[in-house]
Amino acid sequence: GKSLLAVGDDHGHLHILKLPVNLICGPEREDEIIRQVLDREYHRIEGEPARSTTLEALKQQTSKTLAAEDEEIVQQEDSVIDEEYRKTLAEFCEATGISLPASDAAL
């Protein structure tokens, strides 16, 4: 018949509650559904160390690639700056009538 639940509160009163049918009888295949959820979580947690290792390797590879690209960009910017310096120095020397020493001309 009826399923009842007795619940006491902090004032010492006892309450009798009638439980609805959906709390008494679980859904069909409840055991199977819970087992699937637990299995899925177990496999996810089991694969976590491998995933962490893979992500760490990818992070290191990406940082090496970015460092190499940054170094290349810095070298390109340095050569552009050096070229602009040589051109500006040559224009200045020409405008002021100063001859470049051989060591500066090679810059």
Asked whether residue 3 is domain-assigned, the answer is no
Contact 89, 107 (CB under 8 A): yes
Mean pLDDT of the residues in the chain = 85
User: CB neighbours of 9 closer than 8 A, spacing ≥ 6?
Assistant: 15
- pLDDT digit string, tens, across residues 42-67: 888 887 777 778 888 888 888 888 88
CA distance 68 to 65: 5
Asked whether residue 20 is domain-assigned, the answer is no
Asked whether residue 39 is domain-assigned, the answer is no
Asked whether residue 105 is domain-assigned, the answer is no
Asked whether residue 62 is domain-assigned, the answer is yes
CA distance 64 to 69: 9
Measuring CA to CA, how many Å separate 31 from each of 4, 35, 37, 51, 84?
A: 24, 6, 10, 30, 76
**How many domains does one find in the chain?**
1
Please give the model's pTM, rounded to 2 decimal places: 0.36
User: According to the model, what pLDDT value does residue 94 have?
Assistant: 86
User: According to the model, what pLDDT value does residue 14 have?
Assistant: 97
User: According to the model, what pLDDT value does residue 103 have?
Assistant: 63
Q: What is the mean pLDDT of residues 76-92?
A: 91
Asked whether residue 25 is domain-assigned, the answer is no
Asked whether residue 19 is domain-assigned, the answer is no
* Residue numbers of the domain that contains 53: 47-95
